Amino acid sequence: MLLSEIKNAELKSWLQSWIDLCTPDDVVICDGSKKQNDELCNQMVKSGTFIKLNKPENSFLCRSEVSDVARVEERTYICSKKQEDAGPTNHWKDPAEMKAEFNVLFKGSMKGRTMYVIPFSMGPIESPISKYGIEITDSAYVVVNMCIMTRVGLSVISKIDAGAAFVKCVHSVGAPLADGQADVPWPCAPMDKKYITHFPETREIISFGSGYGGNALLGKKCFALRIASVQAREEGWMAEHMLILKLTNPKGIVKYVAAAFPSACGKTNLAMMEPTIPGWKVETIGDDISWMKFGEDGRLYAINPEAGFFGVAPGTSMKSNPNCMRTIAKGNSIFTNTAITMDGGTWWEDHDEDPEELVDWIRRPWKKGCTRKAAHPNARFTTPAAQCPVIAPEWEDPRGVPISAFLFGGRRKTVVPLVNEALDWKHGVFLGATMASEMTAAAAGGLGQLRFDPFAMLPFCGYNMGDYFKHWLEIGEKAGSKAPKIFYVNWFRKNDAGKWLWPGYGENSRVLKWIFERCDGTASCKATAIGNLPEEKALDLDGLKDMTHDDLALLLGVDKEGWKAVIPQIEAHFAKFGDRFPAELHKQLDAMKARLG
């Protein structure tokens, strides 16, 4: 497709303005075809950016520059007109000043390179919950990853030509090439020139200097959470950092569950779980992001706006997530910053294979027993969701799936029980607002201090989180009796001797079963000061070895003194939001204090 064939005047004018500023050598409109994708992958093999792997099939390894390996939160900004609208948890830049700086940075930034125009849909293209975007980039790596993670195609331009709104996304690695200058495998700009910026009022994302992950794949956290969260607040829906799973009981009855966890809390593992309870089945709708709108029946319906998995490789194994490993094994994947084995495969820490030697992520020889990490801790795989062996048949249903329950959770060795049902929606919002993980002794603040990550949205909410909490309360009012039930789970409880009290992984299906039955009103519970906890006999523990009565008492008990001890930390967390914080959540905290006595 040629630029001249685009009918939408706003789109055409916007593209031309960036072409004039960036001065690329060529402009290519991406069509999402296999032919174009294969050409770009082969081009990157020739340039040294990609290594063609022997296994899995049709897959490639990429190594980034050592300074460009993860999201750069300290260089990520919300450019709202008023600083208070960005809130205390976001970095802020004045939008006019930021764009003035970009006019300098982007001037000639694509010289010697190709500008790729990526038309993409977040969600099934015909879904009323989906949104469209156009990403401009000078990175072929971004193109092939976006083709896995989103639905790329000229049909999106047809939608925009017909009048559909779109989010404007601009990205450059910030490394123009002088005449005759050789390129490098991973071009990027110095850290002080990197910017990942969001303009909520104008629905724009502009990213400069980084080629990695969420800094460059602008459909992911930038659009699907930071910009979409603003759209959701203004339009009355929800954009959440949540997996979506389908849970089926032995009678064939289905419920859909959405869950928000901070990183390193087993989110992807839960989305693709293999239940240990006979007759129960878990299928995947999505592993990371959920967009939810109200259906005609008044219930919340969710879609996964992504088309692929962009997962952290280290820690992923047949033990932790067998279905994820099976998805990857089908090929058609891109691995970034993993190690490469001597037979042309990939490897990372906690992988099931046990190689004697390999080449690490920065091209050094590595032997078994070596104290260095072979893969970068944030090494990634990008793989199509459709390949997942437990992907639900309705994962691309444009109507979405009706959500029965929300789960929140963090990594808590103490105090927090295995599972806790909120007393009502407002109490559930309080639980989400106080989501936290315990910091290690080595972390700033010391052992026992909590790192709050409300709703697992701390780095991803595109506006003031005080207003975000209000939005959750408003959604509950609108949903009324049809609102999903809310639960808080904790797979990471330990006893005083440091022993894990819960086996996790597939055994978490026992908790899901209780949640399923609570949604039906068939499972028993005990009312406590912190919420509704399972009675011991209500949790299916058949066949679970090594679970003592004392362990179970800790998992399902209320540590009143422990809860009282963390209240000052919760109060300090709430205080950060000032007068934008909803009074209702202060009331919820006061009510919990009173119940604790």
163 and 20 in one domain? yes
In a domain, 60, yes or no: no
The 10s digit of each residue's pLDDT in 306-354 is: 999 999 999 999 998 999 999 999 999 999 999 999 999 999 999 999 9
What pLDDT shows up at residue 116? 98
The 10s digit of each residue's pLDDT in 270-306 is: 999 999 999 999 999 999 999 999 999 999 999 999 9
In a domain, 55, yes or no: no
The 10s digit of each residue's pLDDT in 179-234 is: 999 999 999 999 999 999 999 999 999 999 999 999 999 999 999 999 999 999 99
Rounded to the nearest integer, the mean pLDDT of the chain is: 96
251 and 228 in one domain? no
497 and 413 in one domain? yes
What pLDDT shows up at residue 266? 81
407 and 464 in one domain? yes
Long-range contacts of 43-47 (CB under 8 A, 24+ apart): 43/140, 44/140, 44/141, 44/144, 47/183, 47/185
533 and 543 in one domain? yes
In a domain, 63, yes or no: no
Give the relative orientation of helices 9-22 and 154-161 as an angle to the nearest 10 degrees.
120
Average pLDDT score over residue span 41-58: 97
The region that residue 6 occupies, defined by phi over 0 for left and psi between -120 and 50 for alpha, beta otherwise, is: beta
Long-range contacts of 476-484 (CB under 8 A, 24+ apart): 476/425, 476/426, 476/428, 476/429, 478/236, 478/294, 479/294, 479/298, 479/299, 479/300, 479/425, 480/298, 482/297, 482/298, 482/299, 482/300, 483/300, 483/425, 484/258, 484/300, 484/403, 484/404, 484/405, 484/406
* Total domains in the fold of the chain: 3
**Three-class SS of residue 554?**
helix
In a domain, 365, yes or no: yes
Catalytic annotation, residues:
265
**Three-class SS of residue 51?**
strand
Q: Any idea what the CATH number is for the domain that residue 39 is in?
A: 3.40.449.10
Q: Which of 342, 357, 387 is the last residue before a domain boundary?
A: 387
Are the CB atoms for 530 and 563 separated by under 8 Å?
yes
pLDDT above 80 (res 488): yes
In a domain, 403, yes or no: yes
What pLDDT shows up at residue 442? 42
Q: Domain residues for 208? A: 3-48+72-236
291 and 331 in one domain? no
215 and 89 in one domain? yes
Q: Which of 236, 264, 284 is the last residue before a domain boundary?
A: 236
Q: Which of 370, 387, 404 is the last residue before a domain boundary?
A: 387
337 and 215 in one domain? no
411 and 500 in one domain? yes
pLDDT above 60 (res 376): yes
What pLDDT shows up at residue 440? 55
Q: How far apart are CA 313 and CA 59, in angstroms?
A: 15
283 and 147 in one domain? no
Q: Any idea what the CATH number is for the domain that residue 407 is in?
A: 3.90.228.20
The 10s digit of each residue's pLDDT in 248-276 is: 999 999 999 999 998 778 888 999 999 99
pLDDT above 60 (res 446): no
DSSP class of residue 535 equals -
584 and 462 in one domain? yes
Q: Any idea what the CATH number is for the domain that residue 344 is in?
A: 2.170.8.10
In a domain, 67, yes or no: no
DSSP class of residue 139 equals -
528 and 380 in one domain? no
What pLDDT shows up at residue 444? 43
In a domain, 65, yes or no: no
In a domain, 57, yes or no: no
